[in-house]
Amino acid sequence: MAAQDAPDLVDELLAGKHRALARAITRIENRSPGYRDLVAALYPHTGGADVIGITGSPGSGKSTLVDKIAKAYRDRGLTVGVIAVDPSSPFTGGAVLGDRIRMASTATDMDVFFRSMSARGSLGGLSTATADAVKALDAFGKDKIIIETVGAGQNEVDVVKTADTVAVLVPPSSGDDVQMLKAGILEIGDVFVVNKADLAGSDKTVTELKNMLDMREGEPGDWNPEVVETIANSGEGVTEFLDVLDAHTDWLDESGRRETKRHQRHAEELRNLLREDASELVEDELDARGGIDDLVERIDAGETTPYEVADDVVEPLADCLDQQRG
């Protein structure tokens, strides 16, 4: 198949061609020329899928759990899409994407579309790429879409924030109650999963999580996050976990929060795109001024500061916008 125009690709994707879906995600990931038109063309066909974000520390059992829930959804006759993000090397940009290995329960089932993605750490924009890949799966007609990402930092918070429902895996003995006070990943969970619940320390972790949740100040009508215990390897607790996911999906619809979330997501997407575009404009301006190195050399020599240079570069842009606004 030669390189093809976005419209063809979109038609083929909407017609259910796996190859076209795979190729569309590649374009989204690589930000190939025209990828924005592609996503824009997919937009009207999205909104039918429930998006579940799953995060947790390395080795907490995310992929194994994803395998089990994908299988459970397939048993219900639903189609599934998975985006699994693994870290990339800060040195070479390379990555080993090993989450597929765990997908034994649904091997050769093409109605589970599993896609591994590298975080491409240094290049940023991961949450945009995953959110757009989710749109491709959604437009393709997947009923349930799972985003799986290793949870450590801000990047992951941004990624799973794009999901409708967020599950956070907390392995047994994950530190003391002070860890539970920390901001970030523990604040975004709609459901907390203590996986490997057969290991020592899991009861204590469940208790600490529950205590953390009890201390929260919620608004009336908020979703109360739940804690479930699973042993993903054997499938134990998976049904209970799915029940909580379903309950959260129902709550989103009944409370009107799905619309609120969608609105926030759209705002976030718009902001990300504008940030990207604005920095592109500034990059062009830097090139026009002879490149960043010359400017930096002046900073090195103590002639100026980053702040002054930044002001200087952005000023014409700001002036131009001011004039436009009249």
Partner 1 sequence: MSHESQRNIRCLVAKVGLDGHDRGAHVITRAFRDAGFEVIYSGLHKAPEEIVQAAVQEDVDVLGISILSGAHNTLVPKVVEGLEAYDAFDDTLIIVGGIVPDEDREGLEEAGVDAIFGPGTPMEETIEFIRENVTRRD
Q: Which residues bind partner 1 (CB under 8 A)?
A: 1, 3, 18-19, 22-23, 25-27, 29-33, 35-36, 88-89, 92-98, 100-101, 107-108, 110, 113-116, 118, 120, 123, 276-277, 280
SS3 118: strand
φ/ψ of 112, rounded to 5, equals -105, 110
CA distance 86 to 291: 34
When the beta carbons of 29 and 190 are compared against partner 1, the nearer one is 29
CB of 262 to partner 1, least distance (A): 25
Q: Closest by alpha carbon to 246, among 105, 52, 47, 48?
A: 52
When the beta carbons of 1 and 288 are compared against partner 1, the nearer one is 1
CB of 141 to partner 1, least distance (A): 15
CB of 95 to partner 1, least distance (A): 5
When the beta carbons of 30 and 260 are compared against partner 1, the nearer one is 30
Q: Closest by alpha carbon to 74, among 28, 40, 107?
A: 107
| DSSP string over 201-219 | THHHHHHHHHHHHHT----
When the beta carbons of 38 and 209 are compared against partner 1, the nearer one is 38
CB of 317 to partner 1, least distance (A): 15
CA distance 303 to 37: 44
CB of 78 to partner 1, least distance (A): 18
CB of 180 to partner 1, least distance (A): 34
Q: Closest by alpha carbon to 197, among 186, 211, 209, 188?
A: 209
Q: Closest by alpha carbon to 54, among 138, 130, 135?
A: 130
When the beta carbons of 2 and 215 are compared against partner 1, the nearer one is 2
Q: Cα separations (Å) of 161 from 13, 24, 54, 55, 207? A: 26, 23, 10, 11, 25
When the beta carbons of 83 and 197 are compared against partner 1, the nearer one is 83
